[in-house]
Amino acid sequence: MAGDKGVRPINLRLVPNCTYCDPEVASVGLTEAKAKEQGYDVKVGKFPFPLPARRAFGEEEGFVKVVSEKKYDEILGVHIIGPHATELIAEACVAMQLESTAEELGRTMHAHRQFPRR
């Protein structure tokens, strides 16, 4: 089917895992435990969803956890729990495919709704 375009192996580490439940759960890459098991010097950033977003979606919980390695700041894994997690994980997949650092991902502007205060 691909003709003579050549076949490239799939990097299974970049395949997102999505669970369509309530709240949604999505991840890509290594967990903190797996990264340590594989010998990485790990650092972790955990960020709660902004309160207005949680209230707007009727959710009380939600966070993003980024697992990276300390020396080069390479993103090893991203884990999201909360509303629309299964859609948001694609951004992490792209960042990891392009070998972005955790700092680069954190400094990237992310569009979000601003909800009026009640």
The answer as to whether 117 is a domain residue is: no
Q: Is residue 2 one of the residues assigned to a domain? A: no
- The string of DSSP letters for 60-71 reads S--EEEEEEETT
Mean pLDDT is lowest, of 5-9, 31-35, 46-50, 114-118, for 114-118
Q: Would you place residue 1 in the very low, low, confident or very high pLDDT band (cuts 50, 70, 90)?
A: low
**30-68 pLDDT per residue, tens:** 999 999 999 999 999 998 876 555 455 565 678 999 999
Compare 15 and 110 and report the one with higher pLDDT. 15
Q: How many domains does the chain have?
A: 1
Nearest to 16 by CA among 106, 70, 69, 95: 95
Question: How many CB atoms sit inside 10 A of residue 9's CB?
Answer: 5
Q: Is residue 5 a part of any domain in this protein? A: no
In a domain, 58, yes or no: yes
Asked, for residue 90, whether it belongs to a domain, the answer is yes
What CATH number does residue 82 fall under? 3.30.390.30
Distance CA(52)–CA(115), nearest Å, equals 6
Sheet of 63-69: strand order equals 17-19, 25-29, 75-81, 63-69, 42-48
**Per-residue pLDDT tens digits for 17-31:** 999 998 899 999 999
State the catalytic residues: 112
Structure tokens at 43: 């650092």
Q: Report if pTM > 0.85.
A: no
Owning domain of residue 98: 12-107
